[in-house]
Chains A and B, each alone.
Chain A
Amino acid sequence: MAPILDIKNLRKSYAGGFEALKGVSLQIEQGEIIALLGPNGAGKTTLISTVCGITSATSGQIKVGGHDINTDFRAARRMIGLVPQEVALEPFETVINTVKFSQGLFGKKRDIGAIEKILKQLSLFDKRNNQLKELSGGMKRRVLIAKALAHEPRVLFLDEPTAGVDVELRKDMWDIVADLKADGVTIILTTHYIEEAEAIADRVGIIANGELLLVEDKTKLMAQMGKKQLEVQLTAPLSAIPDGLVSYDLTLGPSGDALIYTYDTNAERTGITQLLNDVAKAGLSLRDVVTRQSSLEDIFVTLVKEDAA
């Protein structure tokens, strides 16, 4: 099946000449949840804004559901919903009116039933006749989501949806994302919370300095890149690694009472058995042995560092 979002060699230079996207290509299948991970200023918002038509591309091609975003912009944009990074709402308008506005703007026939359903789902129904300026920050963010969903988009962009929101809203947000996925909606979210990507995404893309460094299946990514650490905790602290163990890739823990061994889970031999034998030979007595899997965060930091180097 053709990808629902097809970005080819996208470049974007802002008016000042700054190149925020340096040839990004990305294909996203229908029904996927993809998390774009990257530090501030990486180009995540620029990428989303360009797909949505808020900024114009300098070069490259973007298709949504097979529709080119320039030549067939109506069909393309009808499929897209956007929850922007910054909260922007008309302060004196009511919740329900601003959602009605979005529904109409995206060319849908007025459907109050659909709007009420969305408002209930987002716990906004009781506040539907409140003016937006009366709502808390979290509530405003919910309104932005309601506006983005009012025309039943097939592709939803969430630009840092959980930045600075409370735990409850974050949980609600994840539930909504799961519901939408069940309906076959494709979701692209940006975040710099790695736990978020780890928790809800199918695939993870890593962006830094306007380049998409990699896009990979989340589980594969973690398995491929995943290094494990074995921590051998000792009953008595050491001042240096014993001679018999220098051939291993070992570091001494901060207080000297642990040896840390890093190994690759995909290697044919991890060398753990041999290591533990040699530890015993060196006459060290063990208190405990702990293993740790590296998280996306470690992978991310490694990649971004490599890119900067």
Chain B
Amino acid sequence: MNWAAIRAIYIFEMSRFFRTFLQSLISPVISTSLYFVVFGAAIGSRIDEVNGVSYAAFIVPGLIMLTVMTQAISNASFGIYFPKFIGTIYELLSAPISFFEIVLGYVGAAATKAWFIGIIILITSFFFVRIDIQHPIAMFAFLILTCISFALFGFIIGIWAKNFEQLQLVPLLIVTPLVFLGGSFYSITMLPPFWQAVSMFNPVVYLISGFRWAFFGIEDVPVMTSLFSIGLFSGLCLFAVYWIFKTGWRIRQ
């Protein structure tokens, strides 16, 4: 393994993050606060509790997931798309480094950034609502797994994209709706039976349910199912990355 190279990519990518550190932190803090005002205060005043948890607290895991997923995808996809776009990819391709090491560097950095932002949102929410995290280790594990698997997914999008429109297409058209419809701000059990059934096809439902279980011990689907589905998603992404590596798809002519 070329650890020096993985480290170099990781540091280089993180420096982009730190260069815009304030921006990177302020925007999630502001948007989280807005969500609390809109969903927590306005809607929360009409919904008392969901499964024994105050509505303002109930939305915290979904809020974190929403941001973490979109951040992981956009960081990773941008991270690898940008070198392709400006041509600096030549250096990655000519370096004594395997595709696996490239993935580790980029996905690692993107996941770290997303994780940071997730933690910032969690800390911000402590200012609005009292939260007792019931399974802190499981909470961290879910958070890290989500960061990594969605960063992998973002990496694939970044390799696939041929222009900036495509880069934003998948997050905008697929991920955001899935996340919003994935029970971030409500329990699936609050839906009519038909929509409950439809929701079972939305993979994000399982992630949010598992994450929320780690917080409050309540779940829409069994936590093992959540774990299995995030494992499956990571596995699919890994396989796609492996295939890209084998074929040089959209990177090596």
Q: Which residues of A are interface residues toward B (Cβ below 8 A)?
A: 14-15, 49, 52-56, 73-78, 80, 82, 84, 86, 88-93, 97, 100-110, 147
Contact = CB atoms under 8 A, between A and B. Distances in A.
Contacts of A110: 4
Contact of A106 (B5, B11, B86, B253): B5
Nearest to B3: A107
Interface residues of B, number: 27
Given A93-B12, A101-B12, A107-B96, A88 B90 contact: yes
Contact of A77 (B4, B16, B87, B96): B96
A77 B2 CA distance: 12
A86 B94 contact: no
A92 B8 contact: no
B90 A89 contact: no
B248 interface: yes
B105 to A, nearest CB: 9
B46 interface: no
B4 A107 contact: yes
Interface of B: 2, 4-5, 7-9, 11-12, 15-16, 19, 82-83, 86-88, 90-97, 248, 252-253
Nearest to A78: B96
A73 B96 contact: yes
A89 B90 CA distance: 10
A74 B96 contact: yes
Given A73-B96, A104-B4, A107-B96, A56 B15 contact: no
A93 B15 contact: yes
Given A54-B252, A77-B95, A107-B4, A86 B87 contact: yes
A101 B92 CA distance: 10
Nearest to B252: A56
A89 B87 CA distance: 8
B245 to A, nearest CB: 13
5 contacts: A14-B253, A54-B93, A84-B87, A100-B8, A104-B7
Nearest to B7: A104
